[in-house]
Amino acid sequence: MKKYIAYHFPRELKTYALLTLASALTVVVITFFLSVSAFSQHAFKTFIVEHPALNFIITPITFVTIIYFAKHYCHFVQGSGIPQLIAATDSRNKSIRKKLLSFRVALGKIGLIFLAMLGGAPIGIEGPSIHIGGSIFYGFNQFIKLNRKFLIHALIAIGGSAGLIVAFNAPIAGVLFAYEEIGRKLKKQALILILIVSGFVYFLKAWYHGNTLI
């Protein structure tokens, strides 16, 4: 039994060190993302209250600019983020996973959502936070170099869980969401790894920002 369970965990100490680094980076990046999103929304509302007529100019121009940029330069930042993680775990194609989840996608998501909210877009934070978390954790796989598909998919599910935990301060919901939605095809043993890393992410989030919603 021990050997069976151990088979479903990474074996190198370096892997756990990099998972720790990915967890810390996810907490910092998503906290920053939520802060700048709140700032951009507040800035837009404050400006429009003083100049309401400009809403008919600023918002359309902002939307067209973002759509053009996303379509031609950063196509895979589009969408809520949750379908992208599900597609990445279902896909056996490494190149597709790299397009859907990467550090570049995470940065593009943050930048474009900031601009969109600055232009008046009513964007929810749940899907983007999950997408950013999954992108960061999967991006670290270029250093971790997991080869087994099972562990790669578990890594993506952990990233999605981390994103939800940081955004909503909901560790149990994050774990259940990661296992039931993102990692629907994962073996039950993956839940142990998801629980451990997600619990660590929650600890880091509570230490970094306190046990409250951002």
Question: What are the pLDDT digits (tens) for 139-179?
Answer: 998 887 777 777 788 888 999 999 999 988 888 888 888 87
Structure token digits, residue 187: 């073996």
Separation CA 123–CA 80 (nearest Å):
9
| Identity of the residue numbered 130 | I
Separation CA 89–CA 134 (nearest Å):
11
List the one residue out of 151, 150, 129 whose CA is nearest residue 140: 151
- Show me where the domains of the chain are located: 14-209
Per-residue pLDDT tens digits for 46-77: 888 888 888 888 888 888 888 888 777 777 77
Range 14-209: architecture per CATH: Orthogonal Bundle (1.10)
Residue-level pLDDT at 4:
53
Per-residue pLDDT tens digits for 100-154: 888 888 998 998 889 888 888 788 888 889 999 999 999 998 887 777 777 788 8
Cβ–Cβ contacts within 10 Å for residue 202, how many?
Answer: 23
Q: Can you give the pTM of this predicted structure? A: 0.88
